[in-house]
Chains A and B, each alone.
Chain A
Amino acid sequence: MGIIYVLGILIIGALAAFFVDDLNRKWTGPVAMLAGFGAAAAFAFLPGGIVRWRILGFSMHWETDALAGFFAWIVLGLSALALMYSVKYMEGKARQGYFYASFLTSVAGMFGVAVSKDLLSFFIFWEIMTWTSFLLAIYNAYYGVETKGIKYIIFSAIGAYAMLTAIVLALGQYHSLEFSDLMAAGAFRFSSGNWYIPVLLLLGFAVKAAVLPLHVWAPAVYPKTPMSFTAVFSGAMSKMGILGMLLILTGIFRSATGWELTLVRWVLGWLGGLTAAWATLQAIRQNDAKDLLAWSSVAQLGYIVTAVSTGTRLGLMAALYLALLHAAFKGSLFMVAGAVEKQAGTTDFRRISGLIKRMPWTFLTALIAIISLAGIPPLGGFVGKWLLYESLISETHAYFLVILIFFASTSAFLYSYRFLFGLFLGQEEEEAKQITEVSWWMLIPMLALSAVSVVTGMYPGLIFRPAARALESIGLPAGQWDMSILSNVWGNQTDVFTVGSTVGILFVLWALFITFKGKKNTRWLTTKEISTSGEIPAPEDNCTFQRGFFQPFERAVGRLYRSSMDQLWEDIGAALEAFFGFIRKIYTGNAQTYAMYVIIFVVLLILFRNYIF
């Protein structure tokens, strides 16, 4: 019954937040936060159990097996922290009741998706999470709604309706919507004759996971959403697409006839790789931290999709591991962006810089998260990258794909650095002197999420074990996983604990050396006292290099930057709308024309009656 309690707490919390907001605005956030933590606690301490009930003759089946539990933890954990962060982040903003009610309902939807064991309830929760997130995506302002928010909902709708098509076709074909029944009937196999069912379902999931041609909504919407929700949006909601892919592809992974698996690996794997590369290139040229992070999310999801597509032991583990870790570090990065936005008023690199002295803790979070994102040892992100590469090289032999992925993740260093440099480093603005560190209410969730990266850097087994159980629960072989030794199919190992401790010890030793050597004489300079300009810049001057930061790189990439998927879709949209505008002219407004339509219709029907009736 844990499921019911979790959903109940979230829904009641949503309603409570909505109505409390009218009574006393101060309590809206704490109430929502309580609901978030309450749901997580309920999920932790109550047995999940199995819920079955019937509605309109369709049976609903919710169950918390290991896989559902894994994703439910991503959702509930991240959401609870994001809600805590929200309390101060949203302080003083309007329509908090609306915000928190949508937030909690959305979390309920995500949780429902995670625990659904049949396609109908999966779809229902999916839609709930979609429209609530749309409401949040347009929270900030209307300026983006016509193009950006709407873009999100249109793409989501296309995805969701592809899913719905598959669902009703599957229902017509197999007379059941249970995942287990469909799986047993082979409904998710390309070779089943109903190849369109898995294809349509995958299309639906691909939209949520922002896979290449369908990714354009994500960079448009993530930056416009309040950051406390974007953390969940990018961290947890996009993972639902990954969950769906896992569920659908299990059948193919488990009983693979060669060509199906090859097809998945080639199509999905390359789409994921291209997404990663393309989004990384886009992220590099962004000038706003939020845009950068949005594109980076798309890129990271590309890795995860590629990892899923392998269907191998290492690859699937990489997918689950990265899914959780991406939730942690991207969640904290969006929170960092939110913190900067709240304190400095903007996240545009060209307008602020040098916040490190003002917001040291925020910087620390950002630093840890970015190192983890870039996959540099000894933090957790590296483990995911390692698993992904080893899987592609040693298990699926996707040699050129691994190069593409590698290109993406190498280029990711560029935007990783840009994020840190743009916000926190460089010369301090005179106006930035008043900026202060954010409240601990915001820092604690950020630091908690960073801690995930740090701990998993040394003990990735903490994630491997639940993830392995999750994979086993859907019948995929997961094998044995050590606490901190990674090993590939060839038996080559990397001991991240040794790495972590070596780096840690050396770092501490040398840091002590360099700190205490001649400490007395060390003078701490301001960022204006730089040697090469030959003079100290005036307080109002800011020499920070921010515009066209990666211009040489952009020139090197060259032509690629000139094409834009977004533009393509917008053109299609504009063309469609123009076409609709043309079509509606059949309603001329002239009564006689309408009468003429009637007569023509009659005549046509009578002429062709033998064919029509």
Chain B
Amino acid sequence: MSNYQEIISQYRPLLEIIVYGSAVALILIGLYAVLVKKHLVKLVIGLSLIDSGVNLLFVGVGYVTNHTAPIFSPGFETAADKMVDPVPQALVLTAIVIGFAVTALALSLVIRLYRHHKTANVEQLNRLRW
């Protein structure tokens, strides 16, 4: 255990760059897809990517070196100050679930749209405007 933590603390700057960098990259890639791509499914994928990026960001922020998982179990009742805050993780878990739900909903909408319009081009979906 100590070995593992030492390694991590040694490479922590790198790790941070990797985690945060990939999170930002994911968000940007997702944004690119959402804003530029024309295919509905690609838009949905873009949204998914953004979601993942944000979640990753959250996980990264919530991590605290040398803390344990926030689980109260017999013998560990007083360990609250050594635990990481459970809230971000709960939030991320919820966000992932919600993201899943949204993606599912989005895909079902895409299917329906394709059925009605015979196209998946977002630019042709502007019957409702002005």
Contacts and interface: CB of A to CB of B under 8 A. Distances in A.
B87 interface: no
B129 A587 contact: yes
Contact of A590 (B31, B34, B125): B125
A578 to B, nearest CB: 14
B34 A595 contact: yes
A93 interface: no
Contact of A592 (B122, B127, B128): B122
B35 A588 contact: no
A interface, over-half SS: helix
A585 B126 CA distance: 12
Contacts, number: 32
B123 interface: yes
Interface string A49-70: 0000000000000000000000
Interface string A577-600: 000000011011111100110010
A172 B38 CA distance: 54
B130 interface: yes
Given A584-B130, A585-B130, A590 B35 contact: no
Contacts of B38: 592
Contacts of A592: 34-35, 38, 43, 122-123
B126 A590 contact: yes
Interface residues of A, number: 11
A556 to B, nearest CB: 51
B129 A595 contact: no
A589 B127 contact: yes
A587 B122 contact: no
Contact of B130 (A587, A591, A596, A599): A587
Contacts of A595: 34-35
B39 to A, nearest CB: 11
Contacts of B34: 592, 595
Nearest to A583: B130
Interface in B74-130: 122-123, 125-130
Smallest CB-CB A-B distances: 7 pairs? A589-B129, A589-B126, A584-B130, A590-B126, A592-B122, A589-B128, A587-B130
Interface of B: 31, 34-35, 38, 43, 122-123, 125-130
Given A587-B129, A589-B126, A589-B130, 15 more contacts: A584-B130, A588-B126, A588-B130, A589-B127, A589-B128, A590-B122, A590-B125, A590-B126, A590-B129, A591-B43, A592-B34, A592-B35, A592-B43, A595-B34, A595-B35
